């Protein structure tokens, strides 16, 4: 009661369906090329148009290649899906940041960056990482394609109201510990279903002190704990980030908006369905060893021994280790690595490239390591050049590619070969996620950079 989640959700309830879910009004719908074509087909089959086209913003990101975007996509199946989005946005009169457009990038990087995602909004997209936009103080969550069609048809969605959870992380973070490590730590403690059924408010001094980029990373990974979404109450950090963004309010409207946004906080008397507190000083740089994001340990730690796994969970645990070719009790430090991927909606922002460059500077890519550095958007790509990070990284033997989802889920050409190990700043280490047979180790940009320059899993604190 009286949580920020209640305030935003309740203000968007059009009506409560008798004996059923809430009919929730949606302020912003984002669409990409993978989960939208069948929704557009649905509208055509019903003979209807988008109800509020001005609230819908579309861009391809999953299939886009990370090189030669000025040329047509060579994979005919990917090209067809991207072309289908172009045709659909033209037919239905929607905003479109097409491939190679200077505004294009991964939806969850572009939305906040252009001020399209604002505090107090309800935001959805046919993509589970829509939780990212919660970092600006919005209720943002991923939906299925039938639900995308619902929003296109009515600007509403039928949805049971999730329960509320507050996760407070107090204290401070140690050297070399980033928002990604906080998220991997939370998942390792709560498991991938620990927050299922909940919307999470992140709070506490560690969260307050995170930059917007850090908050976007943290909220991005809410879904990996099972949460529908996660958010941070807007504050001066939020307002400073949003001011001057292309779609942020301006002039008097800005002042009015900030005055309203300042009211967006949980009451002193707020009651959460669940509240958890962690000590930030306990968190170490993290890495995953298994095939779900909850299977993480400190980078200096070991794969758990079998006696620490419950009987029902043992078949899945052993299946994961067989897939990864790891053994219970093994150390993570020193394990050889083949690929490094910096990017994705999790860690494809400017701060992530600064972090990677801080370790790469004056060092060199280790022999045999293949590294893909993929900015989350063209805006990030431009800022990398403005800050001269591209020079630093090139001197260290790293090439910066063009923006897109890339090797996070390998729908374009950026696939990790079967049996190869990839230290990846993305969000999922599921079997085959980065290509059939690929073995993913999730980590922060610092841990990724440390692996890239040494060729093995390394504690980044030794290189800072």
Partner 1 sequence: MKQKFNIIESTCVPLPLENIDTDQIIPARFLKATTRDERFFGENLFRDWRFRSDGTPDPGFVLNDPRYGGEILVAGKNFGSGSSREHAAWALAGYGFRVVISSFFADIHKNNELNNFVLPVVVSEDFLQEIFAAVREDPSAKIRVDVPAQTVTLVPTGRCETFELNPYKKYCLMNALDDIDYLLLQRDKIEAYESR
Report the interface residues with partner 1, using CB under 8 A: 14-15, 17-21, 23, 25, 34-35, 37-38, 41-42, 46, 48, 51, 62-63, 77-78, 80-81, 84, 126-128, 142-147, 149-150, 153-156, 158-160, 162, 192-193, 196-197, 223-224, 226, 228, 292, 294, 312-313, 315-316, 319, 409-411, 418, 428, 430-433, 436-437
The smaller minimum CB distance to partner 1, of residues 153 and 333, is found at 153
- To partner 1, the closest distance from the beta carbon of 134 in angstroms equals 15
Task: Compute the least distance from the CB of residue 116 to partner 1, in Å.
Answer: 19
Q: Are strands 22-25 and 156-159 parallel, antiparallel or unpaired?
A: antiparallel
Contact 218, 182 (CB under 8 A): yes
User: Which CB atom, from 242 or from 320, has the smaller least distance to partner 1?
Assistant: 320
CA 1 to chain centre: 28
Strands 13-16, 22-25: pairing kind: antiparallel
Q: Round to whole Å and give the CA distance between 411 and 415.
A: 8
Please report how close the Cβ of residue 131 comes to partner 1 at its closest, in angstroms: 10
Q: Which is nearer to partner 1, 128 or 454 (CB)?
A: 128
Residue 377 contacts residue 106 (beta carbons within 8 Å)? yes
What is the Cα Rg of the chain in Å?
Answer: 21
Distance CA 463, CA 332 (A): 17
- The per-residue b/e assignment along 258-271, b for 16 or more CB within 10 angstroms, e otherwise, is beebeebbbeeebe
Q: How far is the CB of 69 from partner 1 (least distance, A)?
A: 18
Element of type H or E holding 288:
strand 286-288
Minimum CB separation of residue 343 from partner 1 in Å reads: 16
Q: How far is the CB of 153 from partner 1 (least distance, A)?
A: 6
- Contact at 8 Å (CB) between 151 and 157? yes
Comparing CB distances to partner 1, the nearer of 45 and 259 is: 45
**CA angle (81 as vertex; 78, 84 as ends), nearest 5:** 150
Residue 310 buriedness (CB in 10 A; 0-12 / 13-18 / 19+)? exposed
Cβ 148 to partner 1, closest distance in Å?
A: 9
To partner 1, the closest distance from the beta carbon of 287 in angstroms equals: 19
Q: Which is nearer to partner 1, 235 or 413 (CB)?
A: 413
Q: Compute the half-sphere exposure of residue 31: CA atoms within 13 Å on the CB side of its CA.
A: 34
| Minimal distance, residue 463 CB to partner 1, in Å | 32
DSSP string, 204-234: SHHHHTS-HHHHHHHHHGGGGGT-SEEE---
Nearer to partner 1, 43 or 173 (CB): 43
Q: What tokens appear for 336 in the block?
A: 């050889």
Please state, in angstroms and as integers, the Cα–Cα distance from residue 296 to each residue in 275, 287, 360, 454, following that order.
22, 5, 24, 21
């Amino acid at each position: 009661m009286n949580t920020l989640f209640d305030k935003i959700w309740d203000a968007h309830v059009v009506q409560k369906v008798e004996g059923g879910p809430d009919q929730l009004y949606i302020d912003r719908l984002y669409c990409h090329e993978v989960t939208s074509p069948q929704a557009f087909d649905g509208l055509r089959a019903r003979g209807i148009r988008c109800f509020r086209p001005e609230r819908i913003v579309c861009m391809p990101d999953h299939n886009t290649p990370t090189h030669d975007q000025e040329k047509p996509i060579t994979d005919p199946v990917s090209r067809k899906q991207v072309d289908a989005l172009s045709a659909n946005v033209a037919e239905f009169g929607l905003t479109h940041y097409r491939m190679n457009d200077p505004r294009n990038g991964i939806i969850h990087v572009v939305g906040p960056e252009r001020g399209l995602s604002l505090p107090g909004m309800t935001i959805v997209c046919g993509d589970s990482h829509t939780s990212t936009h919660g970092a600006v103080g919005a209720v943002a969550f991923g939906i299925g394609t039938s639900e995308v069609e619902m929003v296109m048809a009515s600007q509403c969605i039928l949805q049971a109201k999730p329960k509320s959870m507050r996760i407070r992380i107090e204290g401070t973070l140690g050297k070399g510990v980033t928002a990604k490590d906080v998220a991997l730590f939370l998942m390792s403690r709560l498991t991938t279903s620990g927050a299922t059924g909940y919307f999470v408010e992140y709070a506490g001094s560690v969260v307050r002190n995170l930059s917007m980029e850090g908050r976007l990373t943290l909220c991005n990974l809410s879904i990996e704990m099972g949460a529908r979404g996660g958010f941070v109450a807007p504050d001066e950090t939020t307002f400073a980030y949003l001011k001057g963004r292309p779609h942020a309010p301006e002039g008097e409207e800005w002042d009015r908006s900030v005055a309203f946004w300042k009211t967006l906080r949980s009451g002193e008397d707020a009651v959460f369905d669940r509240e958890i507190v962690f000590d930030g000083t306990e968190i170490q740089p993290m890495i995953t060893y298994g095939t779900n994001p909850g299977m993480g340990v400190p980078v200096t730690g070991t794969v758990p021994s079998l006696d620490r796994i419950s009987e029902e969970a043992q078949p899945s645990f052993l299946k994961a280790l067989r897939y990864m070719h790891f053994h219970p009790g093994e150390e993570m430090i020193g394990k050889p690595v083949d690929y490094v991927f910096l990017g994705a909606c999790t860690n494809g922002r400017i701060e992530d490239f600064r972090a990677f460059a801080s370790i790469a500077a004056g060092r060199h890519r280790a022999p045999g390591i293949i590294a893909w550095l993929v900015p989350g958007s063209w805006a990030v790509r431009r800022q990398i050049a403005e800050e001269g990070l591209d020079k630093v990284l090139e001197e260290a033997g790293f090439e910066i590619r063009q923006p897109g989802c890339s090797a996070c889920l390998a729908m374009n050409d950026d696939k990790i070969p079967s049996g190869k190990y990839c230290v990846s700043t993305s969000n999922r280490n599921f079997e085959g996620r980065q290509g059939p047979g690929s073995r993913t180790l999730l980590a922060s940009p610092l841990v990724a950079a440390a692996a890239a320059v040494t060729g093995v899993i390394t504690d980044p604190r030794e290189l800072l």
